[in-house]
Chain A
Amino acid sequence: MSKIKIIYAVTSILFLLLLAVSPLKEIFKDWRNFQNSFNSYTDSFPFKVAKVDNGLKQIWNKNLGIIDRCITCHVGLNENKLSNAPQPFTSHPKIYHDNEKYGCTVCHDGQGLSTKYEDAHLPTEFWDKPLLPRKYIESACYRCHDDLSDKFTPLHNKGKELIEKYNCVSCHDLPGIPKQYTPDLNGVGTKIKNKQWLIDWLKNPSLYATNARMPNFKLSETEVTILSDFLFSFKERRNSQSLYPLPEYYNTLKKDEDFIKLGKVSFSEARCISCHSIEGKGGKLAIDLIKVASKASEKWIYSCIKNPKAIMPGVEMTQFGFSDKEAAAITAYIESEFVDWNINEDEIQNIKPVTGYYEKGIEIYNKYNCGGCHKLDIKEIKENKGPELTTISNKKLYQIEWGKSNLKHSLYEYLENKLETPRAFGENTRMPEYKFYKEEITAITAYLLAQRNNEVPQNYLVRKNKVQPFKPQGVIGKTFEKYSCLKCHSVNDYGGKIAPDLAKVGSQLNRDWIRKYFNIPYSLRAIVEERMPKLFISTEEVEMLLDYFESVFIDDNLDFKLNLTEKPEELEKGKMLFKEKYGCQSCHIIDGSGGYVGPPLDNVGERLKPTWIYSWIKNPQKYKANTIDPKTGMNEEDLLLITSYLFHKRSW
């Protein structure tokens, strides 16, 4: 035999051995161990659980382009009895989707094809989408759905609220988020009392007010001086609208006790603290008033009370029907009460402007995109936005500027840390610092992770009907605008969330009751402190609004006849049903006793129309989707008896 033949024989045997290695490697893979231990685990399990056949398993969803081998190890996914078993054998919680049909990575992300623990779950160098942490899983719902209630996606919805609140859209493009009101800076020089306040505010807004929405831009000492000089030079208001002059008697009366008392009475009668807070107590809709007199000039406060919309275009504050004297008295009251006593008078001196502050001021103003929030009518202002976030969740990891961070590279970690310390990624980043709680960071991250292009096929998308904006025209539109009704109330879900929806108010409430309520608003529920402010509406306006309610805010389905009984013994029967059978009294006050959850029902016949009472009891959720009033499934007879009983609860 020649040598060459021996060499060939040896090499071919080696080759065969090498070929045998790869199937052998497959035999010793982890997932086989998992399947074997699952089978032995089920032996010790108290319930009978079907054993699994050894082998690679996968879910293939052709439409979504998904091949998921997760079920190779997660073998007990659809076995309800295994809800407390250790991972990876735990059963999947009951959800509305069949995992056999949809696959796993469509919601959870991760590398579906992999059968190795590290590759499938963790962030790796070559896989952009590691497994989403449990708290962020709800952002995956928005790949198909577009609007889900708090029940399903509480974090995401909270994140959306926060993004609205902090006005992120002024620098970042995000779809469907409305811009918030922020003060116009034209004429800020006549609004702010002293320059020192402006300097302190620009240095760190949260030192002045803990709940200030303006973030800390971390401006340097010189930048602050230049910017304050620059802003202070704007004395002209927009459209040359000047501030209202204070009445002549103001200066003589402003220290007068009776005058201040009148201001205090008007202040509390109008219920300013429905929206404004004073040292943290009161409404959260507007600024805290505690130090306002040290910030804004008297003339400005007076004009703001008289006609807020004229001097702050776009503001949501209602225009109250105060007389000049009342407005001046309130100004005097604010001047006497809401002063920052810590201000050192000596510090307030006229600081000389820096030379060339105007040009440098514009530069700083543009650099930090102040114009995104605050309007200033000079033509040098340019838009200088941050990156758009519409498809942030689609971003590849290499597209992100990581700086010198020590993160395990994944998008959610980037977002969390960017929100926590915005300037940590790179030296040229401009994003200001917000003092978010960790909870808030999680919520905002959950919302941002849901911002992506649709990758799923059309037939998977679930789209809700968009809320139709309610924008009445003409006199009614002007009245709604003047009193900012839609800041608190909504019409078919468009508007504020604080007060009830008005869309069916004409079929719900009696005209006389609404008229009285406009005059003396009160809180319906004993436990709720918020109530409508007294707007001092004129009688003509009230009648016009009532006419409008009765002709437009109507539900035609509530226009039917009810056979209500008036017999005393039947009413007594209704009372018995109300109190004994259905236990309504545990939530509602009637005859002076009962619970504080629902509105009191004494005199309910004066307030509500009978068809509304009937329909509400029949199906409360139909008229207010998130009410906790349980649907009782009452029969027709009981329903009529209780409606009659409640309808006769009135003084006439």
Chain B
Amino acid sequence: MKKIKNIISIFGLGLIFFIGCNSKREKDPSTTLRVTFKAEVSDELNGNTIDIWKTLNYSERQGKYLFDKYCTVCHGIKGEGDGFNSYNLNPKPQNLQDSLYINKVSDVFLNQIISSGGSGVNRSSQMPYYKFLLDETEIENIISYIRKLNTIQE
């Protein structure tokens, strides 16, 4: 009898140990509940705005903020060069959606034109320079957003 007790207790201990090693999978809570809501609030934002949380990463979102603040008055919300102030300018602001142009220019050139203005790259001085207002990272963020402009649809 004693032997059997010993064996049982040893195996019992082993079993407890083994079970302890296994983590228990929880039940998915959604299977147990009933009421469904009339509208699930998802990541998608309604209205005409783009879903910036899905399409843009952090630096592009920062770039979008800066672009919307500083650039859209002339270059337009979508960067098509049709901002409300573009009608007063001659030559017209650059269309940043123009894939021929935007694929041709390098990041270095874009950086130069934003930081030193149009006159910095021998173009119209109507584009002001932002090197005293924006820091290097901010300009990089704007460039990364400009690169994304043509993929954004409304």
Contacts and interface: CB of A to CB of B under 8 A. Distances in A.
A154 B44 CA distance: 17
A586 B65 contact: no
Interface residues of B, number: 56
B120 to A, nearest CB: 11
B45 A596 contact: no
Given A135-B53, A582-B125, A631 B133 contact: yes
A463 interface: no
A583 B41 contact: no
A151 interface: yes
Interface stretch (A68-76, A437-445, A454-462): A437-445
Interface string B51-79: 00100011100100110011001100000
Most buried by A among B41, B125, B128: B41
Nearest to B125: A583
B74 to A, nearest CB: 7
B88 A630 contact: no
Given A587-B85, A631-B132, A94 B127 contact: no
Contact of B35 (A406, A581, A582): A406
Contacts of A594: 88
Given A404-B33, A406-B34, A583-B119, A93 B59 contact: yes
A11 B133 contact: no
B30 A583 contact: no
B88 to A, nearest CB: 5
Contacts of A93: 57-59
Contacts of B26: 124-125
B1 interface: no
A203 interface: no
A409 B59 contact: no
A404 B35 contact: yes
A173 interface: no
B33 A406 contact: yes
Contact of B37 (A124, A421, A585): A421
B104 interface: no
Contacts of A15: 10, 14
Interface in A571-602: 580-583, 585-587, 593-597
Contacts of A11: 7, 10-11, 14
Interface string B9-51: 0110010011001000010011001111111011111110100
Nearest to A631: B132
Nearest to B74: A586
A280 interface: no
Nearest to A12: B10
A124 B132 CA distance: 49
A14 interface: yes
Contact of A4 (B3, B89, B127): B3
Interface stretch (A17-25, A174-182, A294-302, A496-504): A17-25
Contacts of B34: 404, 406
A582 B88 contact: no
B108 to A, nearest CB: 17
A408 interface: yes
Contact of B133 (A405, A406, A580, A630): A630
Given A439-B45, A630-B132, A3 B3 contact: yes
A597 B26 CA distance: 59
B132 A632 contact: yes
B132 A406 contact: no
A621 interface: yes
Given A14-B14, A25-B21, A595 B85 contact: yes
A416 interface: yes
A413 B40 CA distance: 9
Interface string A227-253: 000000000000000000000000000
Contacts of A83: 57
B47 A586 contact: no
Contacts of A442: 41, 45
B73 to A, nearest CB: 5
Interface in A1-55: 3-4, 7, 11, 14-15, 18, 21-22, 25
A421 B58 contact: no
A633 B59 contact: no
B14 A18 contact: yes
Given A594-B88, A631-B132, A7 B33 contact: no
Given A93-B58, A150-B65, A597-B73, A630 B129 contact: yes
5 contacts: A408-B29, A438-B45, A439-B49, A583-B128, A597-B73
Interface of B: 3, 6-7, 10-11, 14, 17-18, 21, 26, 29-30, 33-39, 41-47, 49, 53, 57-59, 62, 65-66, 69-70, 73-74, 84-85, 88-89, 117-119, 124-133, 137
Given A151-B66, A407-B30, A621-B133, 4 more contacts: A11-B14, A439-B47, A527-B84, A583-B118
